[in-house]
Structure 1
Amino acid sequence: MKTLLVADNHPVVRKGIACMLKKKNDYQIVGKASNAEELYQQLDQNAPDILIMEIDMPQINGINSLRTIKENYPNTRVLIYSVHPEEIYALRSVKTGAAGYVPKTASTKIFLKALKKVAKGGIFLNGELTSTFTSRNVGESSAISRYKKLSSREIEVLNLLSSGKRNKDIANALDINEKTVSTYKTRLLKKLKVDNLADLIHQSRMFQFR
């Protein structure tokens, strides 16, 4: 059973998520938060497997807050459930460390599908989002497809690499050894179909909106 923390400043949303999951035996909500202070307090106390959060909350500084959460609570997977449309924040959120992004206009079916994917260690981006980017750039759409196949740990390593971290820094941040970091780098080069670290970092930055 996966433990969940729900962070949203609207009581109706928090209650709605609880109702959706009431009959799901795979999840247990261990805490709720309506602002940053409550969020970090709950993260410290409960160390949930998954954080379902709105990035537009009081005292929450959007993507920067997500980055802080991933740095301080690396074992908690984050599913963004936001009022903002996917086109604005989805890829940036995943690049920063989120395991998935669901807009609040999505159906219950999509929300539960995303949560299931995140709980299994995958990355969730709505298929329609990839289609949106196809019209912009076929190469970028292909890159998104490859990016979606990365594991959560591979994305964490990629994020740290793109921020200029060395193997030793990454090993310390993720509590793994440097040899393992090198193994992840080799996997990333292969999965993202690039030949060197510079190209790997360049491709990772494709997922940041221009």
Structure 2
Amino acid sequence: MVKVLIADNHPIVRKGIKSLFKNSTEIDVVGKAATTSELFDFISQEHVDVILLEMDLPEVNGITALRRLKKDFAEMKVIMFSSHSEDVYAVSTLRAGASGYLSKSVATNVIKDAIVKVANGGIYISNELAQRLAFDESTNKPRRFFRRLSTREVEVLKLLASGKRNKHVAEELNLNEKTVSTYKARLMRKLNVDNLVDLLQQAKALELL
């Protein structure tokens, strides 16, 4: 049995997924966490094979939580489970150590398939994303859009979008303020804007937020 922890701040999601695998002979949902603190408290005491991790889990953003997980629990398998754009965040989270990325819009059988695949050492992304990563549908050339932002730039962007100032972004990511300012400047250059308001608007238009 694959032991799974659901880390999501929405009660209906936690209950729904646990109910989904209630009678499963392959997957056992051994715990639920609504915050980052609950997540780390649980895995420090209980064995878990796979974590289904919401991108916007409270206290620490999903990519930062993922980095900490892979640092402290290197063998832990993590599937990011989110409503955010797969095109951007799947690549960023895989770079940060995730073993898979699941959109919250997928069919329930896909959740099972992804968990089993990751538990057996595989990587899960949708077939559609795999095709888009390989070739642009119109030009048949490798796409560069997915590589436009680094994982750290995505982290900084999400924290800025949540209303945090440079100082607080630096504290959460364990960086200095100057480095955060550098990342912000890179983001503005890559998204072709010259102020924070336009940066966030452009990011939303590109489904980066």
Q: Normalized against structure 1, the TM-score is what?
A: 0.63
Offset from partner CA, 1:33-71 (integer Å, 9 cap, x none): 000111110110113111111021111223122111111
Report the alpha carbon displacement of residue 98 of structure 1 after superposing the two structures with TM: 0.6
Offset from partner CA, 1:162-187 (integer Å, 9 cap, x none): xxxxxxxxxxxxxxxxxxxxxxxxxx
Matches within 5 A, 1:1-210: 1-133=1-133, 134-135=135-136, 138-139=141-142
- Segments of 4+ in structure 1 off by > 3 A? 136-141
Structure 2 runs not aligned, ≥5 long: 145-207
CA distance in 1, matches of 2:140, 2:75: 34
CA distance in 2, matches of 1:68, 1:137: 37
Asked whether the 8 Å contact 1:55–1:82 carries over to 2, the reply is yes
CA distance in 1, matches of 2:9, 2:29: 16
CA distance in 1, matches of 2:22, 2:80: 20
CA distance in 2, matches of 1:130, 1:110: 15
Query: What is the RMSD of the two structures over their aligned residues, measured on CA atoms?
Result: 2.1
Amino acid at match of 1:26: E
Offset from partner CA, 1:78-98 (integer Å, 9 cap, x none): 011112121120011111111
CA distance in 2, matches of 1:111, 1:85: 17
Structure 1 runs not aligned, ≥5 long: 142-208
Report the alpha carbon displacement of residue 139 of structure 1 after superposing the two structures with TM: 4.2
Amino acid at match of 1:41: D
Offset from partner CA, 1:118-153 (integer Å, 9 cap, x none): 121100011100222311773469xxxxxxxxxxxx
CA distance in 1, matches of 2:140, 2:16: 37
CA distance in 2, matches of 1:73, 1:138: 38
Q: Normalized against structure 2, the TM-score is what?
A: 0.63
Amino acid at match of 1:121: G
Identify the structure with the greater helix proportion. Answer: 1
Q: Number of aligned pairs?
A: 143
Partner SS, residue 45 of structure 2? helix
Asked whether the 8 Å contact 1:47–1:76 carries over to 2, the reply is no
